[in-house]
Chain A
Amino acid sequence: MRTLLGGRTARDLMVVVVLVFGVGSIAMLLAHVSPLDGFGALFDGAFGTREEVAETLVQTTNLLFPALGIAIAFRAGLFNIGAEGQLVLGGFAAGWLGAQVPLPAVLAVPMVLIAGTLAGGAWGAIPGFLRARYGANEVIATLMLNVIAVLLATYLVNGPLALPGSGASETPTLPHAAQLGDLVANSRLTWAFPIALVLAFALRWLLQRTVFGYELRAAGDAPEAAKRAGIDLGRTALIAMTLSGAMAGLGGATIVAGELHRFNTGLSPGYGFIAIAVALVGNLDPLWIIVAAFAFGVLQSGGIAMQAEAGVPRDVVSLVTGLVIIALAGRRVVATRRTT
């Protein structure tokens, strides 16, 4: 049973605000920084100039993709804690393929994005398959696969799939044709942002207005009743986890094609985990998740400035994020399931 909409959402957002400002202030004081200076630097860093707003939107985008994926999994009754690994492998697939295959822009960009989507989807399909076929606990599977994903990508990019002209643990720069176009000059904001917004709307439509979404939600909200209504729980689990991974993978691909223009094993500062908070704050509703992604995007981009200008370690942002997740764990995010 998800926490319900309406008044609860408002209260939950209040909790988020209190945690952010309360715990944030305490942490800043411990670092001998006045909260005014600290938060000032944070918000100034997020909104100060046009380029800084663009950067905030970049962070929003990077969170939005995996958060949408995590939300889909949650709605189907599954925990996808592996978005980070799916994102990394998606980015790797995009970076590697994009550097290898020269194509005109109109084909290169979709190829790169699709490659990332497929790679992430495949990595999400593994725990989905284990769950569908063996009833294996996807929480542990996705956690393990996170670690394995990073190790795998590192191994491949430095070893058998290493490409000439690349640095350590990264792929060479993507040809211009494979890069996503900028939306705002002098920034890293690209078409990835509107793509993410469209994806959010598409997911909402999928969940609320299609039979597929109906069955997916039924599997999440009342698995036994869904089973008896002819819904194949195993198949639903597999599709949901694949879709979930695909979205995270697409996110990785947009980071590679849009911001970095190459794959690097350090491309994500934990987006896959922060996205869990984003999905929860957004109440697992794709449209609210856009708002939540923006809120956390502010924290992420402002956090960089906060560290640079006011000397407050960025870890404060992660700390607050973790606390938000605990606070919004809510009553039974996912219905009871009988698995290990």
Chain B
Amino acid sequence: MQAVDGVDLELFPGEIHALVGENGAGKSTLAAIAYGAVRPDEGTVTAAGVVGLVHQHFKLIERLRVWENVLLNREPRRGLTIDTGAARERVRALGEAYGLRVDPDAVVETLPVGIKQRVELLRELDREPAVLLLDEPTASLAPGEIASFFATVAGLAARGTAILVVTHKLAEVIAYSARVTVMRAGAVVARHRTSDTSADQIAREMVGGEVPAVAARADRPVEPLLEARGFSAVSGTSELIDATFTVGAGEIVGIAGIEGNGQSALADALAGVIAFTGALSLAGTPLRPDEGPAGRLQRGVRVIPQDRRREALVLDWNVRDNAVLGRQRVIPFARYGETARELIARFDVRPPNLDAIVGMLSGGNQQKIVVGRALAGAPALIVAYQPTRGIDIGAAILVQSRLIEARNAGAGVLLISFELDEIFACADRVLVLAQGRIAGEFTHETIDRGRIGSLMAGRT
């Protein structure tokens, strides 16, 4: 299947051009081709100067310093060695010039995500690009920071740079771009001047029709299920501090927040992968910090992890063996096949073949297996961490619907997501996580986008 098929794209200096499409549409591949990292099978790429690319997942070397990352392979020399003084000064000056201040000596892995993005941007800006490609640049920014980010970008455009923003955030496209190109399944399906179109029209073009609706949330009584008091945990660089909250059986609690504000610590502590301090109890009985994932699974806690390829699936194995992972001791060995068949049917896994190797499946189908597994056997609590990350809209709607159905049937769901739209569509209550703490709580009725955005950015 072609990732990108017969695409023409033109970028003009001084213009911000948006490239939109859902996950898997080919946007990132096209950006990589434009950058030169990927060679197209057919067609040409021409640019009137240097092309820079700020990647969606930063290409920064965590254990090196800021200046080493920014000037990698372009280091100022003094004889045979690096002129570290000149290097630091150059990075400092660069930051000043673009209003993206960073400490040149800081080690990248100690920096918060927003600052890391500045480093990534500076690396490209140092090359004085004529064309700058930005792949999902606002994924790690608070709603309030997005405006100032685009102000910076507009400044670059005003200096004559041609800018391409690859995104799926239609509100930003409408607000900040001059032109928009819509991709679907590897091909360009529409081109507009942004002023001539609307978010709804673009959304329809992205999906190729109407977006199906998510399952409805049924009215139901909520009983207490998960209680956290002073709950704290550390997982790598992610830190959760003193969280006090509840999740009821029969409700979906959304955890809104920018990536890097403690979500991983929250998810990993609930999964039993790391220890925690504070009090945590499920249906009245305490959860112990040393139980481990096996203990949590026994208590009926199921986690849909953020990184399915590494944390949820054995890519070399077939669908049958992956479908029982997590319940391999609970289900009799002889019934593995039967269990897998049920899952495939219920979650529309394609191809519906027990022996298909999971590594060969699309992201959406892989995620269906992970979610199907987590929801099997009527779990008490489901922790869904970015459950629709990187999958097509059809699979995403299915996943969200299944989570809502589980909630309707009496499970408690903790939905951790970086996409506010997803949280608003699914959650009964919303908690905002900022800098590791719970910064605010909203019910479905009291949701206020502006307020939530401020809290996410750390402003009270």
Tell whether any CB of A sits under 8 Å from a CB of B in the complex. yes
- Does B376 make an interface contact (CB < 8 A)? no
> Who on chain A is nearest to B295 by CB?
A230
Task: Give the A-B contact count at a CB cut-off of 8 A.
Answer: 60
**B109 at the A/B interface (Cβ < 8 Å)?**
no
C-alpha spacing A230/B326, complex, angstroms: 6
CB A219 to nearest CB in B, in angstroms, measures 10
Asked whether any CB of chain A lies closer than 8 Å to the CB of B128, the reply is no
Q: How far is the CA of A224 from the CA of B293 in the complex (A)?
A: 11
**A209-B333, A210-B333, A211-B329 known; A225-B293 Cβ under 8 A:** no
Q: Contact between A222 and B315 (Cβ–Cβ < 8 Å)?
A: yes
CB of B317 to closest CB in A, whole Å: 7
Are B316 and A221 in contact, CB atoms less than 8 angstroms apart? Answer: yes
Determine the residue in chain B with the shortest Cβ distance to A215. B328
Q: Which residues of A contact B314 (CB under 8 A)?
A: 218, 221-222, 225-226
Q: How many residues of B contact A (CB 8 A)?
A: 24
Is the C-beta of A214 less than 8 angstroms from some C-beta in chain B? yes
- With most chain A CB atoms within 10 A of its CB, the pick from B271, B293, B313 is B293
* Contact yes or no, B333 A228, CB < 8 A: no
With A211-B328, A214-B328 in contact, do A228 and B305 touch (Cβ < 8 Å)?
Answer: yes
Q: Note all chain B residues with C-beta closer than 8 A to A226.
A: 314, 325
Chain B, 90-146, CB within 8 A of any chain A CB: none
Name the A residues within 8 Å of B379 (CB-CB): none
Q: Say yes or no for B34: interface residue by CB 8 A criterion.
A: no
Is A232 an interface position by the 8 A CB rule?
yes
A side interface size, CB within 8 A: 20
Known: A211-B328, A214-B328, A225-B310. A232 touches B316 (CB 8 A): no
List, in ascending order, chain A residues with CB within 8 A of B293's CB: 227-230
Q: A1, B273: Cβ atoms under 8 Å?
A: no
Known interface pairs A211-B333, A218-B314. Does A225 touch B328 (Cβ–Cβ under 8 Å)? no
Q: B294, B313, B326, B333: which contacts A232 (Cβ < 8 A)? A: B294
Are B292 and A230 touching (Cβ within 8 A)?
Answer: yes
B268's closest neighbor in chain A, by CB?
A: A228
B 250-271 contacts with A by CB, 8 A: 271
Within 8 A of B (CB), among A1-35: 1-2, 4
Contact check, B333 vs A218: say whether CB atoms are below 8 A apart. Answer: no
In the complex, the answer to whether A225 meets B316 with C-beta atoms within 8 Å is: no
Give the shortest distance, in Å, between A146 (CB) and chain B (any CB): 30
Q: Which residues of A contact B312 (CB under 8 A)?
A: 225, 228
B321 interfacial contact with A, CB 8 Å: yes
Q: Do A227 and B328 touch (CB < 8 A)?
A: no
Partner of B313, one of A2, A211, A222, A231: A222
Contact A214 B321, beta carbon cutoff 8 Å: yes
Asked if A229 and B325 sit within 8 Å, CB to CB, the answer is yes
B-chain residues with CB within 8 Å of residue A211 when the two chains form the complex: 328-329, 333
B421 within 8 Å of A (CB atoms): no
Q: Which residues of B contact A230 (CB under 8 A)?
A: 292-294, 296-298, 326, 329
Report the Cα distance A210→B334, complex, angstroms: 10
Q: A209-B333, A210-B333, A232-B294 are in contact. Are A225 and B313 (CB under 8 A)?
A: yes
Tell me which residues across on chain B come within 8 A of A4, comparing CB atoms.
316
| B303: interface (CB < 8 Å) | yes
Closest to A222 in B: B314
- Min Cβ gap B324→A in Å is 8
A210–B294 alpha-carbon span in the complex (Å): 19
**For residue A221, which residues in chain B have a CB less than 8 angstroms away from its CB?**
314, 316-317
**Given A209-B333, A224-B310, A224-B311, do A229 and B271 touch, yes or no (CB 8 Å)?**
no
Give Cα A209 to B321, complex, Å: 12
List the A side residues contacting B296 at CB < 8 Å: 230
Closest-CB distance, B219 to chain A (whole angstroms): 34
Pair B273/A227 contact, Cβ less than 8 Å: yes
CB contacts (< 8 Å) of A1 on chain B: these are: 315-316
- A240 vs chain B, min Cβ distance (A): 17
- Chain B residues within 8 Å of A228, by CB: 271, 273, 293, 303, 305, 311-312, 326
B270 CB, nearest partner CB in chain A, Å: 11
Question: Which of chain A's residues have a CB closer than 8 A to the CB of B313?
Answer: 222, 225
Cα(A228)–Cα(B313), bound, Å: 10
Instruction: Tell me the residues in window 301-341 of chain B with beta carbons closer than 8 Å to chain A beta carbons.
Output: 303, 305, 310-317, 321, 325-326, 328-329, 333
- State A221–B316 Cα separation when bound (angstroms): 7
Q: Output the least CB separation between A43 and chain B (Å).
A: 38
Residues on A with C-beta less than 8 A from B311 are 224-225, 228
Interface residues of A in 118-167 (CB under 8 A from B): none
Assembled-state Cα–Cα distance A60/B297 (Å): 45
Contacts of B292 in A (CB 8 A): 230, 232
Minimum CB–CB distance from A271 to chain B (whole Å) comes to 30
Structural contact, A229 and B310, CB atoms closer than 8 A = no
Complex CA gap A214/B317 in Å reads 11
State in angstroms the CA–CA spacing of A222 and B310 once bound together.
Answer: 7
Residue-wise interface mask of A (200-224) relative to B, using a CB-CB cutoff of 8 A (1 in contact, 0 not): 0000000001110011001001101
Quick one: which of A4, A209, A224 has the most chain B CB within 10 A?
A224
What are the residues of chain B within 8 A of A214 when measuring CB–CB? Answer: 321, 328, 333
Q: How far is the CA of A231 from the CA of B295 in the complex (A)?
A: 10
> Would you list which residues of chain A between 211 and 267 have a CB under 8 Å from chain B?
211, 214-215, 218, 221-222, 224-232
Residues of B within 8 A of A2 (CB): 316
Q: Which of B173-231 contact A (CB under 8 A)?
A: none
The 3 A-B pairs of least Cβ separation, nearest first, read A230-B294, A222-B314, A229-B326
Write the residues of chain B forming the contact surface with A, with a CB cutoff of 8 angstroms: 271, 273, 292-294, 296-298, 303, 305, 310-317, 321, 325-326, 328-329, 333
Q: Would you list 18 pairs from A and B whose C-beta atoms are within 8 A, ordered by A residue?
A: A1-B315, A2-B316, A4-B316, A209-B333, A211-B329, A218-B328, A221-B314, A221-B317, A222-B315, A225-B311, A225-B325, A226-B325, A228-B271, A228-B293, A228-B312, A229-B326, A230-B326, A231-B294
Q: Which residues of A contact B (CB under 8 A)?
A: 1-2, 4, 209-211, 214-215, 218, 221-222, 224-232
Q: A218-B325, A229-B328 are in contact. List 10 more A-B contacts (CB 8 A).
A: A1-B315, A221-B314, A222-B314, A225-B311, A225-B313, A228-B326, A229-B293, A229-B325, A230-B296, A230-B326
